[in-house]
Structure 1
Amino acid sequence: MSRETVVERTWRMLLERHPEARRGNPEVIEAASAEPRLRRLFPFPSHGSLSFHRNTDFPWSNDLPRIAGGEGRYLVYAAGYAELLGEAATPQEAAALVVAHLPSDCGAAVEGPWPGPGPC
């Protein structure tokens, strides 16, 4: 039997709405989890948005797009809300927009703090 990674466990708990999981927009979480590239990243719902990180513990990579909003208006922002990358009518479109703006070197999240230099 294989061991569940931190990323896998976090996605599972979010999707199951586990009492110990952070709270976020369930439709956005479900749409993001359906995208294979996003499912490999660490999801972090907070303050009405869903961000994605290349690692599973603070300090975060903080260099990937995020989804904010809901109810027919989903906004996709660059890291740190530096730029509005686009607006989508559905959470599925928003998740696809995040995938389209992921860096080419964006692979599976590493467990633990972000190992490299970068924005925090």
Structure 2
Amino acid sequence: MPETPDIPTAWRQLLERVPGTRQGNPLIVEAAHAQPRLRSLYPWPSHGTLKFLRAAPSWDRSDPDDLPFIVCSGPPYKVYSTGYATLLGEAGTPEEAAALVVAHLPTVGTNSNE
């Protein structure tokens, strides 16, 4: 199996739209990358969303998927808690959506260098 890139490499591949890698909505990706707390998390674009993981995903998928994420089919852009359990809010711009995710990140267990 191919090796999963580290967090900075995953962001670089998303921002540069490297062929053969997962791609996300470029506006959402750029807005999320501009947020230091999100930039410290692993970006995981999947099925029209941009999720954030605490570390590069393992192939056995035992890593927790417990952080808020953005549904990229906007505007409005919707931000949900894990598993679509709760709509945390809607945003008119990618920047507002990224800020909404940051506002709902737990303070324990995430990198908080802002």
Q: Tell me which interval the TM-score lies in, with the shorter structure as reference length.
A: 0.7 to 0.9
Task: Flag structure 1 segments of 5+ consecutive residues without an equivalent.
Answer: 109-120
1:49 deviates by 0.3
Give the corresponding residue for 1:18: 18
Q: Aligned residue for 2:55?
A: 55
Summarize deviations over 1:28-69 as a string: whole Å, max 9, x none: 000000000000000000000000011212323110000003
2:108 aligned residue: 105
* In 1: Cα distance, 2:90 partner to 2:30 partner: 18
Q: Partners in 2 of 1:34 and 1:44 — Cα distance?
A: 16
**Cα distance, 1:73 vs. partner?**
1.3
Q: What TM-score do you get using the length of structure 1 for normalisation?
A: 0.82
What percentage of aligned pairs have identical amino acids? Answer: 54
Q: Once superposed, which parts of structure 1, at least 4 consecutive aligned residues long, lie more than 6 Å away?
A: none
Matched residue type, 1:94 = A
Aligned positions, number: 104
The alignment status of 1:85 with 2:88, answered yes or no, reads yes
- CA RMSD, aligned part only? 1.3
- Corresponding position of 1:68: 71
Check whether the contact 1:43–1:52 (CA below 8 A) recurs between aligned residues: yes
Structure 2 gaps, min length 5 = none
